[in-house]
Amino acid sequence: MTGVLFAGLCTLDVLQFVERYPADNEKVTALTQTVAAGGPATNAAATAAHLGGTATLLTAVGSHPLAAGIHADLAARGVHLIDLAAGDPGPPPVSSIVVSAGTGNRAVVSTNGATRTLTVPDLPALVRGQRAVQVDGHYPELAVAVLTEARRQGIPTLLDAGSWKPALPALLPLLDVVVCSADFRPPSAHDPAAVAGFLAGHGVRWIAVSQGPGPLLRWTGNGFATHPVPPADVVDTLGAGDVLHGALTLATARRRPLTDTTFATSLDEAAAIATRSCTSFGTRTWMSDVDRHGAT
């Protein structure tokens, strides 16, 4: 089994699937609902485990009763959870998510857990044997520590760059792969080429930009190569980026050493899996048995 390590945010996601968004002061009845652990690193870890990897998640959950739902979901998905805030009695971050049946779009209200104090474990032993490490930029001190140790051990490092965070400059020199969303905008970088140049200037070797249903843009050093995203009947886009990153991290781990060719192949594989995740409601429904071990 291929070991992959994820470090970052974990939330409790409460998802409601509605015919249409409610207006102000209006109550609507959901068509269906689901509850699952969420957050970029968490959904990526669940994806990697589903695809046959041995996924370990470093995060903060705590001892509040709401944490039981997180523990149950991750246990069911085969994710090894290491709770770095196990003694914290406060509630975990909760995301309230409403998904429109008509468009697949969603509205999200959430907290990010930034105030939590984490106890960093013995990283050399934990990182040893992993084939790739991904962080999501939450809990920056943890991310720096994990990436530094992975670099020391020669393990590929990846970042899920969903949005710009002030702490990211400290992470970038420690990263091999950065895949960022179209919303990721470092200071003074206002288009994908400028974003790629910014990341490359900080030492990142393999870079791509995701564009939702549009093609992935893979930076070649002189411009972009495009990777089309497979078409799909979209039901819900929630977590698709997290799925992309989880599948990419596992594919990277399985195709070491990391090269331009293996990065390109891994991007295509991850894009196909992320697209499949958009064809059903929620972040877990797509994980049917027929998909298990789908990565190569």
Domain ranges of the chain: 3-10+39-91+113-291
Q: What is the mean pLDDT of residues 114-138?
A: 91
Contact at 8 Å (CB) between 6 and 243? no
Is the pLDDT score of 264 beyond 80?
yes
Amino acid, single-letter form, for residue 248: L
Residue with tokens 């051990």, as numbered in its chain? 153
Residue with tokens 């209200």, as numbered in its chain? 109
Q: What is the mean pLDDT of residues 107-120?
A: 81
Task: For residue range 78-94, list pLDDT tens digits in order.
Answer: 999 999 999 899 999 99
Q: What is the CATH number of domain 3-10+39-91+113-291?
A: 3.40.1190.20
pLDDT confidence tier of residue 105, bands split at 50, 70 and 90? confident
- In angstroms, the CA 50 to CA 37 distance is 14
Q: What is the mean pLDDT of residues 144-153?
A: 98
| Distance of alpha carbon 129 from the chain centroid | 21
